[in-house]
Amino acid sequence: MELIAESELAGVAEMIRRLASFCARLDIRLSSLILLKYVVSKCLLTSMATSQIRFSAADRREQILSVATRLFARQGFQGTTTKEIALRSGVTEALIFRHFPSKEHLYWAVIQSKIKDAAAIERLREKVTTVASDAEILAGLAAEILDRRSRDQTLSRLLLYSALENHRLSHRFFRTYVAGYYEIMADYIRRRVDDGAFREVDPLLAARGFLGMVIYHSWVQELFGGKRYQKFSVYQVSETMADIWLQGMLRVPKELASRANKSNGKHRNA
């Protein structure tokens, strides 16, 4: 529950004034009027105190995180002060540092909250273990990434700012989240290489190649303004990128590879 607004306090003051006028017309003794004012004021202060108690520490922490997320995503780590966050949150800087030991801790908590909301690692693990074709798995993964990022680019902005302004946070993010994400994708590619479906390549580099293609397209469209000039459906992009990547990954039968090499040799010599 929020604190009583100034407009409400003004309303209560007006109510007391009208009661005083009414009591004067009825010739009620001054002592009764003073008592009435005291009772109304007491009720008002009790209500305000109750409101403050009901605004729990957890709620206050979430409020600070929400305001900090908006400011950090718009202004970056260095461009945002804890004083500004406190002002926008309606709290003191001391209260912010009671919940978060430092500005860096607050920024990391913001990143963690966005990662938790996205649940990207869990969804990736689920997708690469489903019974489906490689094209369906990859197109579905790309579509999920593109759709999520088109709706909220906050995490991308936070990570780009951290990479440019605070390398410790970006390195921590890579170790904590990104490395594991790539490894899950690399494990899927490694299995398909062992199955004989994909040609032998470095699984981790192949994973970076596919995810980098998808994420960079998202940045171009959403952060760099590309969608103002060229619009693509999520379905079109995900299907096309999956197909392009698979064309470079699928194992080609030896006889077809031999023909392709001969053809390329003739083309080069022409």
If pLDDT is split at 50, 70 and 90, which confidence band does 149 have?
confident
Q: What is the pTM of this model?
A: 0.66
* Most confident stretch, 20-24, 39-43, 148-152: 148-152
CA–CA dist 154, 168 (Å, integer): 19
Q: What is the pLDDT of residues 25-78, one digit of tens each?
A: 555 454 555 555 555 555 555 544 444 445 578 889 999 999 999 999 999 888
Contacts 24+ apart (CB under 8 A), 170-177: 172/108, 173/111, 177/115, 177/121
Q: What is the pLDDT of residues 66-114, one digit of tens each?
A: 999 999 999 988 899 999 999 999 999 999 999 999 999 999 999 888 8
Q: Determine the pLDDT at residue 51.
A: 42
Contacts 24+ apart (CB under 8 A), 55-58: 55/1, 55/2, 55/3, 57/99
